[in-house]
Amino acid sequence: MSPPIVIAGDPHGNFPPILRTCTALDPGTLVLVGDCDLREPLRRVLAPLFSVGWNVRWIIGNKDAETAAAFDNLATDFPEGDIGGRVIEVDGLRIAGLGGVFKPRIWHPRADEPGGPIDPPGFATRRAFLDSLTPREHWRGGLPLWHRDSIFPEDFSHLGQHRFDVLVCHEAPSSHRHGFGVIDGLAELGAARLIVHGHHHESYTARLANGITARGLAVAEPWVLTLP
């Protein structure tokens, strides 16, 4: 039997449910879908899992870029766990990560009203956005902290060049009332069978119009991955 893959909903600092589920299983891979909202470094919080060989991966959520401490406890403490904008292979299963959220200043590919117009992206790439800022707006020589969790069109362009079985994202696809159809399209382009998301803290399973299964996760909900 292959090692388990556990995908966990936004912890918001509540890691005990995730730890209990994982420690009851043989070591495998844990994927956090954002909003870890860490008060201390991730390696310390998940030390019981790291110590027995769990492969921990994560994507960034909006809460993880609200303060420098939250960002550092995740991204600075364990950068090698970040799968945002990447496709990883776990026991033959290809998992793509799309971290962050859509923001109007960058890109918000959803109409304000049903059937209304969708504004074009403000910036296609991080480089273009960074070049539009003054040096004093930079943070640690790069994007402002507030935009370290922003989704850019370049993220879709990059992931769309790959094939993957599962798309793990913070934002939701169209299965959720606050979701985005462009995520459906990205998953279809990648030939995915499943999208797993957090952000909205609702546990559900749905089938998209394109036939892909969507799985939403509640706060700190650990789910042992099963493909449809």
Paired residues of 93 in beta bridges: 90
Handedness of CA 127, 36, 110, 217 (dihedral sign): positive
- Round the average pLDDT of the chain to a whole number and report it: 97
End-to-end CA distance of the chain: 18
Domain extent, residue 11, equals 5-224
Q: What is the CATH number of the domain that holds 106?
A: 3.60.21
**DSSP structure class, residue 203:** -
Name 140's Cβ contacts closer than 8 Å, sequence gap at least 6.
none
* For residue 100, pLDDT beyond 90: yes
1 band by pLDDT with thresholds 50, 70 and 90: confident
pTM of the model: 0.97
**pLDDT, mean of residues 105-133:** 92
What is the count of structural domains for the chain?
A: 1
Q: How confident is the model at residue 115 (pLDDT cuts 50, 70, 90)?
A: confident
Taken as a whole, the chain contains a residue count of 228
Q: What is the pLDDT of residue 130?
A: 98
Segment 127-150, tens digit of pLDDT: 999 999 999 999 999 999 999 999
